[in-house]
Copies of this chain bind each other. A is one copy, B any other.
Amino acid sequence: MPQSGLLDRIRVVLSRTSHPGNIGAAARAMKTMGLTRLVLVAPESFPDPVADARASGALDVLHAARVVPTLADALEGTVMSAALTARRRELSVPLALPREAAPELVRHAQAGEVALVFGTESSGLSNEDVALCTLPVTIPANPEYSSLNLASAVQLLCYELRLAALVPELPEAPSEAARFEDIEGFYAHLEEVMRAAEFYDPATSKRLLPRVRRLFGRTRLERDEINILRGLLAALQRKLD
């Protein structure tokens, strides 16, 4: 299965959401991360024009949402489910962080359907709801104010899922890095101009060239940047002569 296909096996379940705007905003958050399967457990108002407005370009995800009466219905057929919950629970269940839970969910998505479950805006998931799920997950928020907006929490978890599912695509190839000999040619040219400007005297300023190398070394020069720099040095030399 292609890795992006794994995201199609992840259901986002919103349980008893009060405000339809949050359902729309959650659909948008999902789609920006490539998730499409929304399940609503007994929402207070759905469908709703406020949800449509907040969904922005994710109306397709919103309108394809499945509405079910109970969380057990929403979880039917899943091989794993993660429940978002606040840090303290009566049950001393070990809580996973999103960064730990996401690869677990993606790994299980290779075996079947998985779910990510969010509770109400005011009180989250009940202990009974959390107990229905495989893995409780908590966002490491500010202990003095940990109340994320529902759609923001959906955004954050879906982001972690996307990263976990698409890992090998992440690093970008460096474009057109300059070669060792090009960079050495630039340093030699720069040294000439610094001498001509009487800015650099090898007898007295031993530390200048190493500092310059350190500066440009950090930047990982590209080939056409070398061309720009050497073009400037050549123009300066013509004026200095």
Give the segment of A77-85, A112-120, A193-201 that binds chain B: A193-201
User: Which residues of chain B have C-beta atoms less than 8 A from A208's C-beta?
Assistant: 228
User: How far, in whole Å, are A21 and B235 apart by their CA atoms in the complex?
Assistant: 53
User: Which residues of chain B have C-beta atoms less than 8 A from A220's C-beta?
Assistant: 218
Which of B32, B141, B149, B172 interacts with A145 by CB under 8 Å?
B32
Give the segment of A10-18, A43-51, A64-72, A154-162 that binds chain B: A154-162
- Interface set of A (CB-CB < 8 Å, partner B): 25, 28-29, 31-34, 56-58, 92, 94-95, 97, 99, 139-142, 145-149, 151-152, 155-156, 159, 162-163, 166, 170, 172, 174-175, 193-194, 196-199, 208, 211-212, 215-216, 218-222, 224-225, 228, 231-232, 235-236, 238-240
Given known contacts A29-B149, A149-B151, A198-B239, is B172 in contact with A95 (CB within 8 Å)?
Answer: yes
Tell me whether B29 and A196 are in contact (CB under 8 A): no
Tell me whether A166 and B140 are in contact (CB under 8 A): yes
User: Which residues of chain B have C-beta atoms less than 8 A from A235's C-beta?
Assistant: 194, 197-199
CB distance from A203 to the nearest CB of B (A): 16
Tell me whether B211 and A228 are in contact (CB under 8 A): yes
Which of B97, B152, B159 interacts with A139 by CB under 8 Å?
B159
User: Which residues of chain B have C-beta atoms less than 8 A from A216's C-beta?
Assistant: 219
User: How far, in whole Å, are A215 and B220 apart by their CA atoms in the complex?
Assistant: 9
